[in-house]
Structure 1
């Protein structure tokens, strides 16, 4: 399975944390485009390092919400969402092109990701932006979501996504981050969760119900305290 990680979510030329090391354990990355995190220095440096490690590059556009890290729900119109995606992905496109790389995919970030997953108007705005930028770009989105089906109907290639460190509700949505059990921080619980996804494409919800997924990519969050360690472990499981 494709293993992806959100990266470039810091500021300044030398504040990349574990990003460079994590590139050894993933197959694709999603680079922040400056609205929720990241800046031109970090964007270009992360692009260079991904190309060096032969890792697929994706754009990770989000809401203009530095204080909330793009994770607060916001009420933007479809036109605003369309334009902010064009703006952010266009910036990353430029860095990828001058480094002689290739942009592989687009994955919305945080609240934009979650709000567009099952809202038809927001989903259409995201899909139209990706399609108009380049219909060959892959859209990474929540497994089993409305946006995944709409994007396929539009003709986009879709990688439906599962999460290595997030708990799920019975309807297949992610448990809200405000909930005390939203994140999986325990290593053994995370490994058990990931094994189930990799072996049978299913998860156990916080209501203790088993639900099926249709995932082609698995996300690791690069900003977590155990990100590098978890990335190594997940990479090992993915090779089994």
Structure 2
């Protein structure tokens, strides 16, 4: 059976969590950096528990104005204090509802920066070191953060994006460029199928580049995210691959 694991970033103000939860395997919940607060964290955690979905933390640069999608210059101690604070708030809600922390997935500009920046990777791993033995870290395949995290003893899962166009260096095409966000359901399915079964992605230039993934993200703010996820699961059920 062709059944890739799907994940979604939630608690970001889209208010579609209840529709999305039945169609995913794990969720990454905003911790108050780029979006979210204790109330939205708690709501998403409760929905995850009701739907038997793995719950993960989605920390970011503390930048609500830019939704965490713009790199920030921060002193190391300020950055570490912010990330740890976000995770502490999230864990309060997890403990309240007796839900284990499944993974940590950095958001937006932070996710992209630690994929290519060695010092930024070290700083982020220092910030989350207390969680090393209890959860996974979602990271891009072939990234610096993946390499460093493995060396430091973190358990990782490679993540790829079904609804985003890749460039030849495996970075994501900037959102302001045409075609950066994939909204066609069949195209999303085809991209996931190629990565999952062939270990490669077709980039914006048409090249086939090696890419492996343990879990695939569909963004909750992608147009018709719920319908895309529903379509994917229906196609997975029909498929004879795997």
* TM surpasses 0.5: yes
TM-score normalised to structure 1 length: 0.93
CA distance in 1, matches of 2:93, 2:131: 15
- 2:223 alignment counterpart: 225
CA distance in 2, matches of 1:158, 1:108: 13
- 1:8 alignment counterpart: 11
CA distance in 1, matches of 2:196, 2:230: 15
Instruction: Give the number of aligned pairs.
Output: 235
| Aligned-residue offset at 1:189 | 2.0
CA distance in 2, matches of 1:137, 1:77: 26
8 Å contact from structure 1 (residues 79, 125) kept in 2: no
CA distance in 2, matches of 1:133, 1:25: 27
- 1:159 alignment counterpart: 157
- C-alpha distance after superposition, 1:166-216 (max 9, x if no partner): 111111111122322321122332222122122222110111100111211
8 Å contact from structure 2 (residues 183, 223) kept in 1: no
Q: Residues 237, 125 of structure 1: CA spacing in aligned structure 2 closer, same or farther, 3 A cutoff? A: farther
**Structure 1: which 5+ runs fail to align?**
11-15
Aligned to 2:214, which of 213, 216, 223? 216
| Aligned-residue offset at 1:238 | 3.9
- 1:76 alignment counterpart: 74
RMSD: 1.5
Task: Give the 3-state SS of the residue equivalent to 1:23 in structure 2.
Answer: helix
| Aligned-residue offset at 1:158 | 0.5
TM-score normalised to structure 2 length: 0.92
CA distance in 2, matches of 1:83, 1:215: 31
CA distance in 2, matches of 1:115, 1:172: 13
Residue 189, structure 1, aligned to residue 192, structure 2 = no
CA distance in 2, matches of 1:8, 1:89: 14
- C-alpha distance after superposition, 1:3-29 (max 9, x if no partner): 11000112xxxxx62211211010000
Aligned to 1:57, which of 48, 55, 74? 55
- 1:13 alignment counterpart: none
Residue 43, structure 1, aligned to residue 46, structure 2 = no
**Structure 2: which 5+ runs fail to align?**
none
